[in-house]
């Protein structure tokens, strides 16, 4: 049995509480990871939204962990204690999507990542009263000193890399960069509009610059975010509050080849479709409950899809991003602000306010 200092969310409107939980031993295809750091993602706010069911809380959130393997479960041979790992999303490995090399299309994606339970519906943590606590958010729940996770969540990385920086590669940075490099496959000379210049959108902008895009438009309400987007590779920045956002993005021309929405806001998603040329492709990734509402004629010649995790295979894509970072052409460290685990409420508030692009919680 392992005890873990963990940030537990018990009340959707309340602060996190730091508690010591007891974790089960790792089972088959599982591992216990000592978490070094974990990014805080806007998707973690779903834990407060009441959309995950009345029995979701109390829960440990966090799904951008990085750390060191402490123990492995029976039959695990690809990882060993001492391995350094980045934690990403879970998938089954046996459904048609997984077998086709597309784990983001796993038929069990929602159950394995959004329920906070193991694949067979269990919680594997208990509080001081012996009551169960949800602790498998995205198969990891990494706002904690220790995480029970699955081998399909883990990506082995070299031990000379700074683990405090790497956690966000497992979700937000992978989502933004992967949407551009894996799904759009943006080619030199093509154009892209990015709605929302948070960690996901800025990662897409850095990837678009690497792809040789000729026009990269960042759309955001926050002037500081627009400035950062220009620094990281956007060729233009548009105020999201502009009375004619579509006209400002298209510049009066025929439209762009691709658009990317990270906001999940109904009106913004609709504008992301409207700025497209024909043909054109819009990828939506924002986590939220808003609906996309358009007249069917507005879809003429256009493709719209929703994508999990940038369509990435984490074990292949995260090492690719690390190599680009080593080469100095993918400076994702500029997005990161560090906080201690006991500063989690401030980190969350800063993320909501937009004063921190990517908070990363460093474990004690």
Count of C-beta atoms within a 10 Å radius of residue 278: 9
On whether residue 324 sits in a domain, the answer given is no
Same domain, 114 and 229: no
Same domain, 17 and 138: yes
Same domain, 280 and 344: no
Same domain, 191 and 159: no
On whether residue 316 sits in a domain, the answer given is no
Same domain, 33 and 162: yes
On whether residue 17 sits in a domain, the answer given is yes
Same domain, 7 and 146: yes
Same domain, 113 and 34: yes
Q: How many domains does the chain have?
A: 2
Q: What residues make up the domain containing 354?
A: 2-170+331-362
Token pair recorded at residue 237: 């920045």
pLDDT 10s digit of each residue in the chain, 364 long?
899 999 999 999 999 999 999 999 999 999 999 999 999 999 999 988 877 888 999 999 999 999 999 999 999 999 999 999 999 999 999 999 999 999 999 999 999 999 999 999 999 999 999 999 999 999 999 999 999 999 999 999 999 999 999 999 999 999 999 999 999 999 999 999 999 999 999 999 999 999 999 999 999 999 999 999 999 999 999 999 999 999 999 998 889 999 999 999 999 999 999 999 999 999 999 998 899 999 999 999 999 999 999 999 999 999 999 999 999 999 999 999 999 999 999 999 999 999 999 999 999 9
Alpha-carbon span 154 to 305, nearest angstrom: 27
Same domain, 10 and 134: yes
Alpha-carbon span 93 to 103, nearest angstrom: 7
On whether residue 195 sits in a domain, the answer given is yes
Q: Which CATH number do you get for residue 201? A: 3.40.50.720
Same domain, 6 and 139: yes
Count of C-beta atoms within a 10 Å radius of residue 3: 11
* Radius of gyration of the chain from its Cα atoms, rounded to whole angstroms: 20
């Amino acid at each position: 049995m392992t005890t873990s200092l963990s940030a537990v969310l018990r009340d959707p409107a309340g602060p996190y509480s730091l508690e010591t939980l007891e974790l089960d031993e790792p089972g088959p295809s599982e591992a216990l990871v000592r978490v070094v750091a974990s990014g805080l993602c806007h998707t973690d706010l779903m834990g407060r939204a009441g959309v995950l069911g009345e029995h979701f809380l109390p829960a440990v959130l966090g799904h951008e962990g990085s750390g060191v393997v402490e123990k492995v479960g029976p039959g695990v041979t690809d990882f060993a204690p001492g391995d350094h790992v980045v934690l990403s999303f879970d998938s089954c490995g046996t459904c048609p999507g997984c077998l086709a090399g597309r784990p983001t299309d796993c038929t069990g994606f929602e159950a394995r990542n959004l329920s906070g339970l193991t694949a067979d519906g269990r919680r594997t943590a208990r509080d001081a009263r012996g009551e169960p606590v949800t602790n498998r958010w995205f198969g990891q729940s990494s706002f904690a000193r220790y995480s029970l996770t699955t081998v399909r969540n883990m990506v082995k990385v070299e031990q000379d890399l700074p683990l405090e920086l790497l956690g966000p590669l497992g979700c937000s940075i992978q989502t933004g960069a992967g949407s551009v490099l894996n799904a759009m496959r943006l080619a030199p000379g093509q154009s892209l509009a990015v709605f929302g210049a948070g960690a996901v959108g800025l990662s897409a902008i850095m990837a678009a610059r690497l792809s040789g895009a000729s026009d990269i438009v960042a759309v955001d309400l926050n002037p500081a975010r627009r400035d950062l987007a220009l620094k990281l590779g956007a060729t233009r920045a548009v105020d999201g509050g502009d009375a004619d956002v579509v006209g400002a993005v298209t510049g009066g021309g025929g439209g762009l080849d691709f658009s990317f929405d990270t906001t999940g806001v109904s009106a913004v998603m609709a504008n992301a479709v409207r700025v497209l040329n024909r043909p054109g492709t819009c990828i939506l990734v924002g986590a939220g409950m808003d609906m996309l509402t358009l007249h069917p004629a507005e879809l003429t010649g256009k493709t719209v899809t929703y994508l999990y995790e940038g369509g990435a295979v984490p074990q292949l894509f995260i090492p690719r991003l690390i190599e680009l970072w080593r080469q100095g052409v993918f400076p994702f460290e500029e997005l990161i602000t560090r906080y201690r685990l006991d500063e989690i409420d401030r980190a969350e508030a800063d993320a909501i306010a937009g004063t921190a692009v990517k908070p990363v919680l460093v474990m004690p």
